[in-house]
Amino acid sequence: MSHVPPPKTTHHDFADLFLGLDKLVPLLDGTQRRYINFDNAASTPPMRPVYDAVNNFMPFYSSVHRGTGFKSQLSTRLFEEARHIVLAFVGADPEEHTCIFGKNTTEALNKLARRFPFTEERNIVLTTAMEHHSNDLPWRYATETHHIGLHPDGQLDEAHFDQLMTEFGDRVALVALTGASNVSGFLNPAYRIAEKTHAAGAQIVVDCAQYAPHRKVDMRSLDDPTHFDFVTIAAHKMYAPYGTGALIGRKDIFNHGQPDMVGGGTVEVVTLDEVEWASAPERDEAGSPNTVGAIALAAAIKQLEAVGMDAVAQHEAELTAHALTKLRDVPGIEIYGDTNPETAHQRLGVIPFNIEGMSHFLVASILGHEFGIGVRNGCFCAHPYILYMMGIDEEEAHAMRDQIMDGDHREKPGLIRASFGLYNTLEEVDAFVDALHKIVRGEYAGEYIQDKNNGEYHPIGWNPDYDSYFSFEVA
């Protein structure tokens, strides 16, 4: 994927574009503090323009497709316009590509695994050892799957990819690659991999769930040897958490074959004896679609484009460089992957780390309960990659697996991950680093106990009034 230039010194504040950043959350000591969210690689808060677009649409919401009333016609028009906005956002050609809406990237990749036309001659998928489970497990269950190896720092071993392509040759049907890792933030050379893939007569899917919120995606024309055949995106990682994802791919694939899910909306004609399937994308959008989610995704895309994806990348590179510089001084910290602030523009704003002598479960819990800072800890749905990054060998991994399967998660391996979004600030990074210094010095008040069943630490006496923040009770 393409890189942006090194960040400039001017820092931008995009916080006004977002909803809920002023909300206070309770701390263990009984006070409240403005929440700092550094868990953006998992999910992002809504943009105000997205929230406004959804609310403005809701009075006109109606069923899409084939409804004769004005509200239905308007809803249909907006739903299809959202589809074209998504296609344009990823550089797709509406004549060559289709956009299939679904719940998320996981559903999209599972759909592709069931719909891709594997043959007896071409039935191998090459994926990588750094993938999110969603771009690994579906292929394992669909066909023969092999994993491209990694360099010691966690980056893709392209020489091993070349070796596998030579070994399996024209048996390779598909290469499944993440655009950017949700663990390390590494960007993969996806266009170069795509060119090699097509030279071997295979196709490529690029999981852009983590990439698309931070960098420009360009699928390119099918005539271009570096093109992507399929990409996936997730709205909840793009500041539109309304339950939508998209699979964008070749029309010539999705116009043929039986859909993986059948029912209303997928057909042209049904008799008691025969079924004629609809064309793409309707063939693969069974049931009533998430119209609101599609509109939210389109609104998020328009706002990201207004900001400019280069500006998005620059802002997050500044945060990452600042964080890496400050984190160096935290005693006992081990940062995984690229630790160089000077190369922050060549990666995403995702920083995985651990603190020596402290459980990742405990550090993450203290950050949340005593400092109001949300991070993620664990394996981030990328277990093989985490084990590799942590240097855990097969014997250790099996012992840990046995312990976990016995119901004891206390020693489950994992990392702490801080991940940045467009709305985060340098001041928030400073508060985060300051909190880590205090945790290392033992300057936290709570007494924490670990739950054997899930490994998590909880402070004794923590009993917030959740209903005062949100309740389903009718006024």
- Cα separation, 350 vs 450, in Å, equals 27
User: What end-to-end distance do the CA atoms of the chain give, in Å?
Assistant: 51
Domains of the chain, residue spans: 15-45+308-468, 50-305
- Of 236, 188, 253, which Cα lies nearest the Cα of 385? 188
Which of 99, 208, 379, 381 does the annotation list as catalytic?
381
Q: 1, 211 in Cβ contact below 8 A?
A: yes
342 DSSP assignment: G
E strands, 149-281, are 172-178, 203-207, 230-234, 245-250, 267-270, 275-277
CA 396 to mean position of chain CA atoms: 29
- Cα separation, 319 vs 427, in Å, equals 10
What is the CB neighbour count within 10 angstroms for residue 383?
16
Classify domain 15-45+308-468 at the CATH superfamily level.
Aspartate Aminotransferase, domain 1 (3.90.1150.10)
Query: Looking at the domain that runs over 50-305, which CATH code has it been given?
Result: 3.40.640.10
Q: Helix 309-327 to helix 291-307 angle, to the nearest 10 degrees? A: 80
pLDDT at 109: 98
Q: State if pTM tops 0.85.
A: yes
- Cα separation, 233 vs 82, in Å, equals 14
Mind listing the pLDDT tens digit for each residue in 344-376? 999 999 999 999 999 999 999 999 999 999 999
What is the CB neighbour count within 10 angstroms for residue 71?
13
Confirm whether 381 is a catalytic residue. Answer: yes
What type of residue is 94?
Answer: P
Residue 71: C-alpha distances to residues 76, 182, 217, 267 (Å): 8, 40, 33, 24
pLDDT at 1: 66
3-state secondary structure 245-275: EEEEEEHHHHCCCCCCCCCCCCEEEECCCCE
- pLDDT, averaged in runs of 10, over the chain (475 residues): 48 86 96 98 97 98 93 97 98 98 98 98 98 98 98 97 98 98 98 98 98 98 98 98 98 96 94 96 96 98 98 98 98 97 97 98 98 97 96 91 93 97 98 98 97 97 94 88
pLDDT at 251: 97
Q: Which helix (H) or strand (E) holds 427?
A: helix 426-440
Q: CA 254, 255, 256, 260 torsion: positive or negative? A: positive
Query: Both tokens of residue 14?
Result: 């995009």
3-state secondary structure of 457: strand
Max intra-chain CA distance, the chain: 73
Query: Both tokens of residue 327?
Result: 């984190």
pLDDT at 475: 72
- Cα separation, 241 vs 405, in Å, equals 33
Mind listing the pLDDT tens digit for each residue in 188-247? 999 999 999 999 999 999 999 999 999 999 999 999 999 999 999 999 999 999 999 999
Fold agreement (15-45+308-468, 50-305): no
CA 383 to mean position of chain CA atoms: 15
- Cα separation, 245 vs 405, in Å, equals 32
425 DSSP assignment: -
